[in-house]
Amino acid sequence: MNTKMNYIDLTYFSGTGGTERIAYLVKEYLEENNKIVEIHFINANYLKEKITVNDSTDLLLLLYPVYAFDAPKIVYDWCKLLPEGNKINAGIISVSGGGEVGVNSACRIGIKKQLEKKGYLVCYENMVKMPSNWMIETPEQEALKLIKELPHTIKTIADEILTGKQQKIK
């Protein structure tokens, strides 16, 4: 990944607000490091617009929650509408109540394939663990710990992006 990134296109989908919180923390940390971050929220209205990627974009960064071990359908719809990537670097950050376990990690496979088919170079991926809001509730103390650690977790991810760390999970 290019460490000389200046312009980052951060696009996210959030169903319950957790991923939105993370997206804005990522944006904040990147901007503190003098990066220009354009942020977009994927929703039905956004999908009606012509999806563009700025010519100055050095990194397309996509964030979304895990929905039943996959990316939400609306994220796949967004990928289909993306213009050709012309070898622009891309990163994917998924958000899950279960963390980086095999079935959750699979949530990025289809999105990586779509981005790469469009000509984007997926060079970074990561998972942020949040309190679970599906099937099994996270115990309150563990949930509070995850929320309290969130700024540190996101700063670590932002630092990895800024230093050009390449991380593709098989």
pLDDT at 64: 94
What ranges in 73-129 are assigned the alpha helix state H?
A: 73-81, 102-105, 109-117
Fold of 7-162: Rossmann fold (3.40.50)
Closest CA to 92 of 55, 32, 104, 144: 104
pLDDT in tens, the chain (170 residues): 555 779 999 999 998 888 999 999 999 999 999 999 999 999 999 999 889 998 899 999 999 998 877 899 999 999 999 999 999 999 999 998 755 555 666 788 889 999 999 999 999 999 898 776 666 666 677 767 777 888 899 999 999 999 988 877 76
Q: Residue 157: enclosing H or E segment and its boundaries?
A: helix 140-162
